[in-house]
């Protein structure tokens, strides 16, 4: 993985991580803004998990406080990691029911968008769903498969993660709702994803594995689960066989323009 401009904070001798007053204020402002944005559009499983976590509105929670709730419901924990970690480490943590979380929070300049995951994205966006057994089982299975996969297969697995854990939608009796953490931690994506602008497709693992994406734009396509158990069913299916078939079929044509070329300065 690349280099991050952020540095994770280390715990003191007692295991407590100390954050600055600016960090706590950013957390407060993100919590206030996002909690208002998601209350009517997040799925009930996420909102229930958020209630269980009982995140403090005015200060960044300690990871152990989050882990204690997750352990009680699904056996998961939050693992402190540097800002960026190798893919092997990422998959290994998930396989052992440890969700990686870098202990830094975005600066005020990056409030609306941050490509690399900070603790607000990880804790507020993802940890609430990890109280759900179906979601938790899927995520652990994903880690196991990813750890044993080769580089080419990991690219296909990344699409599965992207269109579920990060940017997944759920069909409910009350209409489309959000469960993906990449959406739920982003004010812009939360407001955009349920509009008529993007395309909403029924979840099908073969289609998901063949769908290209870009990380730096609003998503043109979202995949919609019929219910949360569908993730559990996917976890129990032969995902690696699906990847082999997807390779043979090839990728769909992108529905977005190519990313701008990186400028090299000599």
Selection from 63, 59, 52, 238 nearest residue 133 by Cα: 52
Look up 166 and say whether it is catalytic. Answer: yes
Which listed residue (67, 116, 122, 185) is catalytic? 185
- Residue 104 zone, left/alpha/beta (φ > 0; ψ -120 to 50; rest): beta
- 175-178 and 169-172: which strand pairing? antiparallel
Phi, psi of 24 (to 5 degrees): -65, -35
Which listed residue (67, 122, 126, 189) is catalytic? 126
Look up 266 and say whether it is catalytic. Answer: no
Q: Is 264 annotated as a binding residue?
A: no
3-state secondary structure at position 53: helix
Which listed residue (116, 166, 186, 189) is catalytic? 166
Q: Is 121 annotated as a binding residue?
A: yes
- State how far the Cα of 194 lies from the Cα of 229, in Å rounded to an integer: 21
Q: Is 152 annotated as a binding residue?
A: no
Which listed residue (121, 122, 186, 189) is catalytic? 121
Q: How far is CA 132 from CA 50, 80, 161, 181, 186, in A?
A: 11, 21, 16, 13, 21
Look up 3 and say whether it is catalytic. Answer: no
Secondary structure, 3-state, 218-230: CCCEEEEECCCHH
Look up 185 and say whether it is catalytic. Answer: yes
Q: Which residues are annotated as a binding site?
A: 121, 126, 166
Q: Which residues are known catalytic residues?
A: 121, 126, 166, 185
Q: Which residues are annotated as a binding site for Fe cation?
A: 121, 126, 166
């Amino acid at each position: 993985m690349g280099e991050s401009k952020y540095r994770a904070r280390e715990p003191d001798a007692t295991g407590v991580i100390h954050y600055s007053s600016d960090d706590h204020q950013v957390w407060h402002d993100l919590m206030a803004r996002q909690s208002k944005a998601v209350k009517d559009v997040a799925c009930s499983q996420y909102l229930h998990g958020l209630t269980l976590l009982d995140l403090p509105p005015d200060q960044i929670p300690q990871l152990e406080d989050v882990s204690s709730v997750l352990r009680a419901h699904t056996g998961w924990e939050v693992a402190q990691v540097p800002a960026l970690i190798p893919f092997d480490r990422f998959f290994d943590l998930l396989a052992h029911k440890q969700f990686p979380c870098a202990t830094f929070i975005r600066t005020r300049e990056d409030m609306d968008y941050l490509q690399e995951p900070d603790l607000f994205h990880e804790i507020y966006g993802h940890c609430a769903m990890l109280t759900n057994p179906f979601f938790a089982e899927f995520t652990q299975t994903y880690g196991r498969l990813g750890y044993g996969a080769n580089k080419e297969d990991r690219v296909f697995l990344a699409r599965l993660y992207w269109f579920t854990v990060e940017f997944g939608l759920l069909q409910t009796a009350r209409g489309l709702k959000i469960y993906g953490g990449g959406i739920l931690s982003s004010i812009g994506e939360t407001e955009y994803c349920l509009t008529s602008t993007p395309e909403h497709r029924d979840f099908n693992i073969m289609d998901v594995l063949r769908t290209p994406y870009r990380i730096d734009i609003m998503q043109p396509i979202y995949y919609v689960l019929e219910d949360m158990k569908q993730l559990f069913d996917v976890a129990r299916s032969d995902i690696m066989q699906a990847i082999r078939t997807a390779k043979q079929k090839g990728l769909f044509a992108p529905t977005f323009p190519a990313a701008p070329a990186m400028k090299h300065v000599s």
